[in-house]
């Protein structure tokens, strides 16, 4: 029953024809999905990156954008990225607006990617959350136009609360470490490599012992993108959708609409029941 809450099996990668990763700052792509990108490199699956800012704010920007962009290019070579675009948005000021949404849409279309990697909407840093909403909205519009694509949210500063895929990165540990190691300007500020590998180690909690490191992802399917309100669905509704009946939730925690859905909420409620991640 609990395997409906989190995977108990690891995946070698997330299947796709091509992937594009949106990184709010130089190093987020390596920290968040360096293992998965290494797996794509090994499997010959093309991947590219959009760097939303070049990390010019405060202590993190002390080295200068040239240094941080150069570090990104070095990491991109290690991770096998075939293209890196720098948007040069202002650090700590990334806006979710029509301009950035259309820029993300264009980047996805030009790349021909059917898997879009983004930080999660639950991240801490405002640029991380802004990037997530820009990417999700761009993907939603493309799905509405008939494109088949999925969005995978990755974790950096805040662990995902909902995990759909655990990618076994044990074989790619060294490559991911090498990619992170080029970011001298950031590692001199904080031990980001240690934080992220501690998280990747923890992600094997539900996996067989021979798996030493895993990256967690939350998958947003086209079906979910057609019902964006479901991205912030209540946990109880989620459990109803999963038919998770091993625990009886006290009635005080149930929405009135959950007990007796009516009107528009009734149809919304019913629509959740059909979803599968």
Residue 31 CB, nearest approach to Zn ion (Å): 8
The verdict on 24 binding Zn ion (CB under 5 A) reads yes
Question: Which C-beta is closer to Zn ion: that of 28 or that of 240?
Answer: 28
Question: Which C-beta is closer to Zn ion: that of 92 or that of 150?
Answer: 92
Number of residues that bind Zn ion (CB under 5 A): 3
Q: Which residue is nearest to Zn ion (CB)?
A: 25
Tell me the window of 19-27, 70-78, 87-95, 161-169 that interacts with Zn ion (CB under 5 A): 19-27
Q: Which of 7, 22, 25, 182 binds Zn ion (CB under 5 A)?
A: 25
Tell me the window of 22-30, 31-39, 44-52, 237-245 that interacts with Zn ion (CB under 5 A): 22-30
3-state DSSP of the chain: CHHHCCCCCCECCCCCCCEEEEECCCCHHHHHHHHHHHHHHHHCCCEEEEEEECCCCHHHHCCCHHHHHHHHHHHHHHHCCCCEEEEEECCCCCCCCHHHHHHHHHHHHHHCCCEEEEECCCCCCHHHHHHHHHHHHHHHHHHHCCCCCEEEEECCCCCCCCCCEEEECHHHHHHHHHHHHCCHHHHCCCCHHHHHHHHHHHCCCCCCCCCCCEEEEEEECHHHHCCHHHHHCCHHHHHHHCCCCCCCCCHHHCCHHHHCCCHHHHHHHHHHHCCCC
The verdict on 28 binding Zn ion (CB under 5 A) reads yes
Site string for Zn ion, 203-222 (x = CB under 5 A): --------------------
Binding positions for Zn ion, rule: CB under 5 A: 24-25, 28
């Amino acid at each position: 029953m609990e395997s409906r809450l989190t995977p108990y099996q690891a995946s070698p990668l997330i299947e796709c024809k091509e992937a594009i990763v949106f990184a709010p700052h130089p190093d987020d792509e390596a920290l968040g999905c360096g293992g998965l990108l290494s797996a794509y490199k090994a499997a010959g699956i093309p991947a590219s990156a959009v760097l939303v800012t070049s990390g010019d704010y405060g202590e993190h920007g002390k080295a200068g954008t040239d240094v941080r962009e150069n570090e990104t290019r070095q990491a991109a070579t290690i991770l096998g990225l075939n293209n890196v675009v720098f948007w040069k948005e202002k650090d700590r000021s990334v806006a979710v607006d029509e301009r950035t949404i259309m820029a993300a849409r264009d980047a996805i279309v030009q790349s021909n990617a059917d898997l879009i990697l983004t930080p999660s909407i639950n991240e801490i840093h405002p640029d991380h959350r802004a990037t997530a909403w820009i990417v999700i909205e761009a993907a939603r519009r493309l799905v509405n136009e008939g494109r088949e694509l999925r969005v995978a949210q990755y974790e950096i500063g805040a662990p995902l609360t909902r995990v759909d895929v655990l990618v076994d990165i044990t074989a790619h540990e060294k490559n991911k470490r090498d990619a992170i190691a080029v970011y001298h300007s950031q590692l001199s500020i904080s031990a980001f490599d240690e934080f992220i590998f501690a998280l990747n180690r923890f992600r094997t909690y539900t996996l067989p012992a021979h798996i030493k490191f895993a990256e967690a992802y939350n998958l947003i399917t086209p079906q979910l993108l057609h019902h964006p309100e479901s991205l912030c669905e209540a946990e109880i509704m989620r459990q109803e959708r999963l038919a998770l009946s091993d625990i009886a939730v006290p009635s005080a925690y149930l929405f009135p609409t959950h007990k007796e859905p009516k009107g528009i909420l009734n149809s919304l409620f019913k629509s959740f029941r059909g979803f599968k991640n």
